Chains A and B, each alone.
Chain A
Amino acid sequence: MTTTIFIARDSTAIAVGADGIAAQISAQCDQNQHPVQIARPGSRGMYWAEPLVEVEINGVRHGFGPVTSDAVAGLCDLICPLDRAPIDPKVFKQHPLYLGDLSHHAYLAAQQRLLFARAGLIDALDLTQYERLGGLRGLRRALASNSQSIIDQITESGLRGRGGAAFPAGIKLKAAAEAEGVNKYIVCNADEGDSGTFADRLLMEADPFQIIEGMLIAALATGATRGYVYLRSEYPLTASLFGQALVLAREHGLLGPSIYGSSHSFDIELRIGAGAYICGEETSLLESIEGRRPEVRSKPPLPVHHGLFNSPTVINNVLTLASMTSIMAEGAQAYHDLGAGTSRGTQPFQLAGNIRFGGVVEVPFGVSLRTLIEEFGGGTASGRPIKAVQTGGPLGKYLGVRQLDVPMTYEDLASAGGLLGHGGIVVFDDSVDMAQQARFAMAFCAAESCGKCTPCRIGSVRGVEILDRIKTGKNLEKEIKLLDELCVTMTDASLCAMGSMTPNPVLSALTIGPEDFGLPAGSRHPTES
């Protein structure tokens, strides 16, 4: 019997050598004359274990990881032994990289996966497998109902935008449905620029049909007939996989003039981003799709009224749109039952930075930051104590060790001064230089700013200069005062969140590590930031 071996076809897995491991295993199996089939699904998001090699025996997937090229020969003795000797899973335990039956692995078992339920389990480009594991049920329900009841379901579920601003998804759909326009658009924001985030990409590579299905549901809710997926240019593999998924969806009548034989028409175009963080901001993203510089538009008008090509447009993050599939499939109540406060459903947190077990952890809102970092993440990779955690991307605040018990909901994080954003969590140990991090925040803003408004365009450059002067230790008090003043100006006067939120990491760095700025420890009260 042929043995199936699963190795992820996923950008991160490949970056750490998955392709090489797959080729090596394949060669070794040939040599061992053991018939194997190497399957390449998406990743399960246990990035700490990649390259992860899974062997399926009697329907159970046994995992090994992270597999290095040196380990392949030994591993093959177990999983594709010479001359078709029988495989004995009992001896797997002895292998140092053995992770057990993955479906029971604590990292996964402790999660509650809706979005990532299929990730790593199915062939990303197999619509039948997608459907077998629950795909398309949401769409079928949506096709059988009407615009109003789809909007009601999404609204009642409590789903909020996963891209950053956490705007209620149902309200956006409703506004676009009610807006007047010959053409309406659904735009999927897959620019995923936040540092330490990868959930969008992982999902698009592991389960692309879910995003297509989500966009279709949004289209049925609003009457949109055309969709765009704006994908970060740094994701070429994603572009290729998602592009193939679109072709397959068209072939299967999922996209096109008549969705599954209905009177609704919808098609999706994949656009590759222009390569700047600001392209992820919704209005500059629209400018970019229209073929212009990614320059932020002032609001009003809102995109739901005058968005892409001046038409009503729903723009949502990948995860927001994808979440609509399970809401439609299982009902608003089931979704709303998860989470806490006004943060409903699940959130794929992305553990990154100095962390032992980096990867995606999808759990209901309300889990504490400490649980995520310590229980899932296993603490820092370096083993040194944590000094700071940046949540919500490059515009989020640095939280200090005293703030790790904050429950991960939009409101709790907000009251701790933090940001949930796209669910990115970047951990730093005590070797981090917070002054350097503050400078980085200003430099990032200067490098990625669209340049439209003055506080951000000039302010970020002046911010870098001040932080460089602070480093020299001269006129410290005066420079810190000027930095504070600049931050107030950027916060209150910038046109978009890029400029207005850059002070978050800068000032919180100052609060957490005043000594890195040459100030006495504890000299900055948290409320100052």
Chain B
Amino acid sequence: MLKMYQPQADFGTPLPKAGGAQVALTIDGVRVDVAEGTSVMRAAVMAGVRIPKLCATDRLDAYGSCRMCLVEIEGRKGTPASCTTPAQPGMVVTTQTDRLQRLRRNVMELYISDHPLDCLTCPTNGDCELQDTAGEVGLREVRYGFEGESHTRAVLDDSNPYFAFDASKCIVCSRCVRACDEIQGTLAITIEGRGFDAKVGTGTSFDFLNSECVSCGACVDVCPTASLTEKSIIKLGTPRSETTTTCAYCGVGCTFKVQTSGSEVVRMVPLKDGKANEGHACVKGRFAFGYATHADRITQPMIRSSIDEPWKSVSWTEATSFAADAIRHAQQQHGIKSVGAITSSRCSNEETYLVQKLVRAAFGNNNVDTCARVCHSPTGYGLKTTLGESAGTQAFTSVAKADVIMVIGANPTDAHPVFASRMKRRLREGAKLIVLDPRRIDLIRTPHIQASCHLQLQPGSNVAMINALAHVVIAEGLEDQAFISNRCEGDAYARWREFILQEVNSPEAAQAHTGVPADQIREAARLYAGAANAAIYYGLGVTEHSQGSTMVMGIANLAMATGNLGREGVGVNPLRGQNNVQGSCDMGSFPHELPGYRHLSDAATRAGRLSWIPTPAIASPICLMRR
């Protein structure tokens, strides 16, 4: 839905880790209860009190550099910064006094004494935190004059195709540097120099384009000034309106606000409340929105009766009746099974549901399939068979609690960038990494991250590898007995155990197939099984093999044997190819499965609310692709 453009709310500092006690304090006479570890600044916002700030934003750890957020606290000396001061029980905080106003105005005066005075011609005029804050603190004059030392003649770096860096407008708040470090994990930029010489740079002689920067735009997003600005904003001005949507580029499925001016997209801003991305984005979702107005885009219904004819734009009525006639005609001529449809995992649940319903109810057959067939159908089958549900076991946020992360056949940095940033954050915090991949993916060695084990197996030897890992777990008694006896099927487990202990599954045997030395396999198995929380993330390197389903089952078995299921930080996590693989499968896009994974052969389902399903085809679901 189109809404007026409004900057997203900012609590100044992140939500503290859950689990702490409640703390009651008073801010400007308002009592507020907050979780332990909450900053005074965040508590103030919760109490409805706005404290001026420039270096703080709730997506980054508190930093304490701008000194705009000073407050007075009863019983404490001086004027502490509210962003770096944790709320404490009984605290009595005052945010507006003559002294504080004077200090804030004076600090702002210092900022502006080193800032160009061209607000009116500035690209972010009206959408600038520095400008807003200067107004908020009542700055009226700069007594230092403008003849002193300044950065106002700093050169522009517009090498990056999507954003420009104008150092003359930089207030050296480090938000960009911290965003690149903390959120994105690329560590492409830094503050160079000390004192007045301190400035944002790549730490090398390279400009943005030629630096390590991957153009994720996190730095641009958090910049409180026009120093880092999208080129689209520079060209088109600030947005008027916005619509919330989902990025369709990859399997992460980031939530965005598409910000527009009339029908023109001027900026894509990741939504802080987006479950998958929590305010982060990658270069594709944030900057590659040229498709929205690309000439190749189909914006009208078009028809043609044969492939050698040119497309003809028509009205919706004409298009639908043309299609309906053609389908009916084909069925009359070639039989009821002669037509079908393929759904896309980039479509919404509603859309895929309706397509399969169209096929089943109107075409009267089960000839519906989805693009997930080629990417993650082994996940659906393998996880349903082993865990009972055709779905990954965790939300993306779970990775923040993992202690050991095993990545199999996936390259998150490139293929799931926003999730990779989350994973990297956890790895920088000290989680250990095991990679099973023939390739040296980026995660193996990247700033502040180094994989503990890289099992560089031969393509096609996944199953041998996963079984060898399980063999070590069982042979060395590293399994989780309690989990197995409480949560697994005893007979099935006993059979699997006997199988997995066979010599063919030993690391030595696997070495021959996988090319990975047995001791490396042992080391990885011990690391995985020994972790308090171990999580497996896998991608198409698992599922797009002929043994994909077997491998998925092998993964699930390993997770079950070690008790790594059923809580945060663990699990079996497929990294999908599209943003709604899960939904399109859930909605019954496979020929043999009805919405909710109910099998076609289930008479009870057919008799219930889904009575529209075509009875004649039940016995023999046909997959179009096999015809």
Contacts and interface: CB of A to CB of B under 8 A. Distances in A.
Interface in A453-479: 453-462, 465-466
A450 B111 contact: no
Contacts of B113: 458, 462
Contact of B70 (A295, A447, A466, A492): A492
Interface string B191-210: 10111111000000000000
B84 A298 contact: yes
Interface residues of A, number: 36
Contact of B111 (A446, A458, A488, A495): A458
B78 interface: yes
A278 interface: yes
A493 B149 CA distance: 21
Contacts of B114: 458
A298 B64 contact: yes
Contact of A450 (B103, B148, B171, B194): B194
A489 B197 contact: no
A486 B197 CA distance: 20
A454 B68 CA distance: 9
B64 A495 contact: yes
Query: For A293, A300, A449, A458, which residue has the most chain B Cβ atoms within 10 angstroms?
Result: A458
Nearest to B192: A293
A493 B67 contact: yes
A498 to B, nearest CB: 10
Contacts of A295: 191
B499 interface: no
A441 to B, nearest CB: 14
User: Chain B binding site: helix, strand, loop or mixed by DSSP?
Assistant: loop
A466 B190 CA distance: 31
A493 B144 contact: no
Contact of B86 (A300, A458, A489): A300
B143 interface: yes
B106 A493 contact: yes
Interface string B96-120: 0001001100110011011000000
B110 A458 contact: yes
Given A276-B194, A447-B195, A459 B110 contact: yes
Contacts of B70: 492-493
B196 A489 contact: no
Contacts of A93: none
A132 interface: no
B67 A455 contact: yes
Contacts of B122: none
Size category, B interface = 35 or more
Given A450-B194, A451-B172, A493 B65 contact: no
Given A457-B198, A492-B70, A451 B144 contact: no
B65 A449 contact: no
A294 B78 CA distance: 25
A489 B107 contact: yes
Interface in B120-179: 143-144, 148-149, 171-172, 174
Given A453-B65, A454-B67, A492-B103, A278 B194 contact: yes
B195 A455 contact: no
Contacts of B84: 298-300
Nearest to A445: B195
B148 A462 contact: yes
Contacts of A447: 195
B37 to A, nearest CB: 10
B550 interface: no
A450 B103 CA distance: 21
Given A488-B102, A488-B106, 4 more contacts: A448-B195, A449-B196, A460-B195, A466-B144
Interface of A: 276, 278, 293-295, 298-300, 446-462, 465-466, 482, 485-486, 488-489, 492-495
Q: Which 9 A-B pairs have the closest CB atoms?
A: A451-B198, A298-B64, A449-B195, A489-B106, A298-B84, A458-B110, A493-B67, A451-B195, A465-B148
Interface of B: 62-67, 70, 78-79, 81, 84, 86, 99, 102-103, 106-107, 110-111, 113-114, 143-144, 148-149, 171-172, 174, 190-191, 193-198
10 contacts: A300-B84, A447-B195, A452-B65, A452-B174, A454-B66, A454-B67, A455-B67, A456-B195, A489-B107, A493-B106
